[in-house]
Amino acid sequence: MSQPTSHDTSFDALASVPWDGRAILLVDLDAFFASVEQLDHPAWRGKPVIVGGDPDKRGVVSTASYEARKYGVHSAMPSSTARRLCPDAVWTEGHFDRYREMSNKVMAILHDETPHVQQVSIDEAFMDVTPTGVNREHPILIARRIQERVEALGVSCSIGIGTTKAVAKLASDMDKPRGLTVVTPGSEANFMAPMPVRALSGIGASAEKKLREHGFETLGDLAATDDDEIIKLLGKTGAVMLERARGLENAPIENDDEVKSVSNETSFAHDLTERTDIEAAIATMAAKVGRRLRRKGLAGTTLALKVRYADFSVRSVQRPLPAPSDDEFLFRHMLSDMLDELWQQGMALRLVGVAVTGFDDDGHDADQLKLFDDDAGETVSKSHKDLQTATDKVKERFGEGALRYGRELRMHGTGTGSSSKNPADYK
C-alpha cells in the first residue's frame, strides 16, 4: 500500500472522499527533545545531536536527532554505545522545562482543533476528529493544518490517521519525520497484516517471544487466530491485542489527567555500599517527591521504596502512610525502616527509588498530618511543615541545588548527574 506524503497532491484526491467511520489522529513530535535543542541552538542544526545521560555514568539516550540516527543511535541505547557509534555528536543532558513549554504550545494547537485530545506523553497525543453534524471537515485537511501550525513553532510532527487508536499509531510510524499516513476505513486489515507482532502497541519483548514460540509472526497471523489460544498465552491483554490486530478496537479518546503516582529514582554512577550514602540518597529523593507532591497539591496514602542490586535484579516494598501525606520527613523516617527489608551490610545498590501513590479521592488533605509522633516520642508539630514551605520557596527562586538538608549533603559524588535540573546534587 503506497501512501502519499504530506507534500503529495494525491492527498487532495483522498480528501475528496468522505470519511466513513471514526477518524483518529495520532500526532507524534519528531525527535522532539533533539529538535527543540536544534531550534534553541542554531549552530546544532544539521548536526547529530544526542539528548541523554552521561556515557560515563550509566546514562542512556533519551532522544537522538535524525542526523545521529544515521549512525545507529536510538532512544534507550546506553550512552556509552551511542558515543562509540557517533563520537562527534553534540551532547546535552536536556532541558525538560523547555520541552514541557514547547509541548504545551503544541497541545494548545491540538485543543484548538477539537476538545477530544488524549495526551499520551510529552510528545504524543491522540485526537478524535470524526466528522460530525457540526464539523464535517475532512480529517486529512485537519491533519495537514496541524502540521503547518506545529512547524510554525519551529518543530515538526508526523501524523497517522485511522479508524482506531492502534491503526493511527501504526500509521504515524510509517513515515517520519513530517509524515502523514492515512489508512482509509476498510483497509485496516490489509494495512496491518504484514507487520510484525512487536509493532503493535502493547506487545513488548516478552509477549513477542511467547507469540513467536507459538508461530505467530505477523499481525495477520494474530488476527486470524482463535481467541482462546491467545488469551491462554497473554491473558486479558491477549483479548485486547486481538481486537487491535483486527482493527476492531473501540477505545475512546479521553483526557484522563488524574495523577496516580509521584516518584523519583536514581541510578548511581557507582554502586552504593554504605548505609549512610544510601540513606542520604533516599533523603534527597524523599525531598524531591515531597516537594513535587506539594506543588501538585497532592497527599498520598502509600509509600514505596525500590532498589536495584548490582546484578540488576529489582525488589520493592510499600507501606501505608498513617494518613494522606506529602511530608518528606515522615517519608524519610519510614523509608529507613523499609530499607532494612531490602538491604543489609555488604549489598551493593545500583539504584534507589521512592514513590508515593494512592491519591484516591479528590479530598487531598495533607493537614491531617499536622501531628505525629517521631522516634523520641515527641509530638512534631506544624514547625517542620513551615520549614518545608520555606524550603520550597527558596528552591523555587534559586533552583533545586540552592538548599539541602544536612543528611542530603552526603550525596556528594555519588549520583549519575543525569538531570540538568539538579546539577548541584551530583557535582
Partner DNA sequence: TCTGGGGTCCTAGGACCC
C-alpha span between 332 and 71 (Å, rounded): 44
The least CB distance from residue 32 to DNA, in Å, is 8
According to CB under 7 A, which residues from 80 to 109 bind DNA?
80-81, 84
> According to CB under 7 A, which one of 66, 75, 111, 392 is a site residue for DNA?
75
Residue 15 vs 222, nearer CB to DNA: 222
> According to CB under 7 A, which one of 202, 220, 401, 423 is a site residue for DNA?
202
Task: Work out whether 317 is an interface residue with DNA (CB under 7 A).
Answer: yes
Task: Work out whether 203 is an interface residue with DNA (CB under 7 A).
Answer: yes
Task: Work out whether 376 is an interface residue with DNA (CB under 7 A).
Answer: no
Task: Work out whether 156 is an interface residue with DNA (CB under 7 A).
Answer: no
Q: In sequence order, what are the beta bridge partners of 282?
A: none
Helix orientation angle between 383-398 and 328-342, rounded to the nearest 10 degrees: 90
Q: 538531570: which residue's cell?
A: 419
> According to CB under 7 A, which one of 207, 230, 283, 334 is a site residue for DNA?
207
Task: Work out whether 291 is an interface residue with DNA (CB under 7 A).
Answer: no
Residue 242 vs 380, nearer CB to DNA: 242
Active site annotation includes 124: yes
Task: Work out whether 336 is an interface residue with DNA (CB under 7 A).
Answer: no
Closest CA to 65 of 40, 85, 91, 84: 91
Residue 17 vs 314, nearer CB to DNA: 314
Task: Work out whether 120 is an interface residue with DNA (CB under 7 A).
Answer: yes
Residue type, 20: D
Residue 149 vs 292, nearer CB to DNA: 292
Applying CB under 7 A, what is the total number of residues that bind DNA? 60
Which residue among 101, 124, 279, 400 is the active-site one?
A: 124
Residue 237 vs 336, nearer CB to DNA: 237
CA dihedral 332, 336, 338, 343 (to 10 degrees): 140
> According to CB under 7 A, which one of 130, 184, 187, 201 is a site residue for DNA?
201
Burial of 193 (0-12, 13-18, 19+ CB in 10 A): middle
Task: Work out whether 171 is an interface residue with DNA (CB under 7 A).
Answer: no
> According to CB under 7 A, which one of 194, 204, 252, 399 is a site residue for DNA?
204
Catalytic site residues?
Answer: 124
Could you list the residues that contact DNA (CB under 7 A)?
53, 58-60, 62, 75-76, 78, 80-81, 84, 120-124, 169, 200-208, 235-237, 256, 258-267, 292, 302, 304, 312-320, 341, 350-351, 353, 355, 416, 418-419
